[in-house]
Structure 1
Amino acid sequence: MIRAVLAVLLSVALFAAVVPGIDEARRSRTATHLDGVTDRIERTVHSLRAHEDPTRPSVSGARRIVRVSLPARSWSAAGASLRIEGDEDRVGYRLDGRPPRWTTLRGIDLRTPAGPVVLERPGRHRLVVSLVRDRGVGVVIARR
């Protein structure tokens, strides 16, 4: 009986020692994935701006589709959300309710006509990135 109790206590102590490392690895892995997503959005915006001609907002023209996946919270991934703010010209993500990590797109007039684009649900999402000429040249990002 004493051996069983000691084995359970030892198992609980080992589990308690390991959990913080698992949490940190989960956040680190998810942050690396979302850094790549942010970088892909930024590259798409700059490429569109450098290689295409802007059109009026009502005209279909230069655009790119960016596919984004948010991982489901699991043993290997932290809960995450992605946010694109046109007013601030920035893209950011938040892990497990922690403060967001932002990337400002310098030299870009980023626009999100329907307000900030927020992706919170795990799974695949599509973003449409368009180059428009309306009150100057801007890059519009919207969900599809």
Structure 2
Amino acid sequence: MIRTVLAVLLSVALLAAVAPGIDEGRRSRTATHLDDATDRIERAAHSLRAHEDPTRPGVTGARRVVRVRVPATSWSAAGATLRIEGEGDRIGYRLDGRPPHWTTLRGLDLRTPAGPVALERPGEHRLVVSLVRDRGVGVVIARD
């Protein structure tokens, strides 16, 4: 009986010792995944600027579809949200309610006509990146 109690206490102590490392690993893995998603969105926007002609608002033109997966909270992934703001030409993500990490997309006039695009539900989301000529040339990002 004493051995069983000692084994349980030792297991609990070991779990308490490694839990912070597990949490940091989950956050690091999820941040790497969302940094990659940010890079793919930025590459799609720069590709449009470099290779396509902008169209007037409401006119269908060249576009890129970027699939982004927001991970669900699990043993290997932290809870996350992704937000795209045209106002500041930036994309940010928040992990487990911590302060957001923002990336400013330089050289792009990012636009989100329906307000900021917020991906809060876990799962796959499709974003449409298009090029528009209205008060200059802008890159529009919207949900598909």
When normalised by structure 2's length, the TM-score is 0.98
In 2, Cα distance between equivalents of 1:64 and 1:57: 16
Superposed, 1:68-79 pairs within 5 Å as 68-79=68-79
Query: Which ranges in structure 2 are unaligned for 5 or more consecutive residues?
Result: none
Q: Which residue of 2 aligns with 1:80?
A: 80
Amino acid in the other structure paired with 1:43? R
Amino acid in the other structure paired with 1:2? I
Q: Which residue of 1 aligns with 2:127?
A: 127
Q: Deviation above 6 Å: which 4+ runs of structure 1?
A: none
Percent of residue pairs identical: 84
Output one character per residue of 1:15-65: Cα deviation in whole Å (capped at 9) or x when no partner. 100111110111111111111000000111111111100000111001111
Count of aligned pairs between the two proteins: 144
Q: Which residue of 2 aligns with 1:3?
A: 3
Query: Which ranges in structure 1 are unaligned for 5 or more consecutive residues?
Result: none
Output one character per residue of 1:74-122: Cα deviation in whole Å (capped at 9) or x when no partner. 0000001100000000011111011111110111110000100000101
**What is the CA-CA distance between 1:5 and the residue it aligns to?**
1.5
In 2, Cα distance between equivalents of 1:109 and 1:32: 25
**What is the CA-CA distance between 1:4 and the residue it aligns to?**
1.7
When normalised by structure 1's length, the TM-score is 0.98
Task: Provide the aligned C-alpha RMSD in A.
Answer: 0.7
Superposed, 1:59-74 pairs within 5 Å as 59-74=59-74
**What is the CA-CA distance between 1:73 and the residue it aligns to?**
0.6
Superposed, 1:109-120 pairs within 5 Å as 109-120=109-120
Q: Which residue of 1 aligns with 2:36?
A: 36
